[in-house]
Amino acid sequence: MPEGYEHLVVRTFLFRLLSFALGPEHTVGSEQFVYWIASDPSRSLAPDVFVRLNTPHPRQLGKWQTWEHGGAPDLAVEIVSPNEYAGRAWEKKLADYHELGIKELVRFDPEAREGERLRVWDRVEGDLVERRIVEDRTPCLTLGLGWTVRWIPSPNRGGEYLGLRLLDEDGRLLRTEEEGTEARIRELEEQLRRAQGGAEPK
C-alpha cells in the first residue's frame, strides 16, 4: 500500500525525534525489513519505527536480520493509515511481533477518537500483553520516557498533524534536532531584543 503524506510526516518526525534523542550508540530504523527466521526469508516485518538499544547504528542499514545484528529490536511502532491493519490483518501482525520477540509494541491510530489513539503491548512472561491506557498518554517502559499524542508541524508549514511524541521524566517534550535549533534561535533573538532595550531585532 503506498504511503500517504500524513503517514510519511508522522513516521519521519518520530524517526528524527528518536534518532536525535538516543544518539548513534543505539539503532533507530524506519521501514527497514526485519527478519527473524534465517531459513524463511518470507517471514518479515517492516515497522514504521524501531529501536534496538545498546547496539550502535550500522553505517548502512538496509535490513535487520536478528541472527546478524544481535537480536530483535526492543521497541517497534506501527502508525495506522486509513483502512489499514483492521481485523485479522492486525491480529497477524501482532502474532508476528510476538514471534519476533519484541519487548514493547506501540500502535498509533491518528484517526481514532481521543483516548483510543494509542495502544501498547508489553512482553510479560513470554507473552505480549496489552496495557490499559486511559488517555492519549502512557509510559515508554523500554526507553524510560513517556508517550504522548500531540500536534506536530508539517515540513512544508502547511498545517499540523496528530503524531507521537516523547516526554522526559519531568514531563517535558523531547525535541528533534531541528526543533532544538529553532528554539535556540528564538532564545538568541530574545536576548538580542532585551539587550537593545526592548526594540524588535532587525
Q: How far is CA 40 from the centre of its chain?
A: 28
The answer to whether the CB of 22 falls within 8 A of the CB of 49 is no
What are the backbone dihedrals phi and psi of residue 70, each rounded to the nearest 5 degrees, phi first? 95, 10
User: What per-residue confidence (pLDDT) applies to 159?
Assistant: 81
The answer to whether the CB of 145 falls within 8 A of the CB of 169 is yes
Q: Is the pTM of this model over 0.85?
A: yes
- Residues 53 and 60: their CA atoms lie apart, in Å, by 17
The answer to whether the CB of 75 falls within 8 A of the CB of 143 is yes
User: What per-residue confidence (pLDDT) applies to 26?
Assistant: 96
- Residues 103 and 97: their CA atoms lie apart, in Å, by 9
Region of 187 (left: φ > 0; alpha: ψ -120 to 50; beta: rest) is: alpha
Residues 80-103: what's their mean pLDDT?
85
pLDDT at 86 over 60: no
Residue whose C-alpha cell reads 550502535 in the numeric block: 56
CB-based burial label for 38 (10 Å; 0-12, 13-18, 19+): exposed
* Per-residue buried b or exposed e for 156-179, using 16+ beta carbons within 10 Å of the residue's own CB: eeeeebbbbbbbeeeeeebbbeeb
Q: Which residue has the higher pLDDT, 182 or 65?
A: 65
Band the pLDDT of 87: cuts 50, 70, 90: low
What are the backbone dihedrals phi and psi of residue 105, each rounded to the nearest 5 degrees, phi first? -120, 125
Angle (deg, nearest 10), helices 5-22 and 177-195: 70
106-137 pLDDT, tens per residue? 999 999 999 999 999 999 999 999 999 989 99
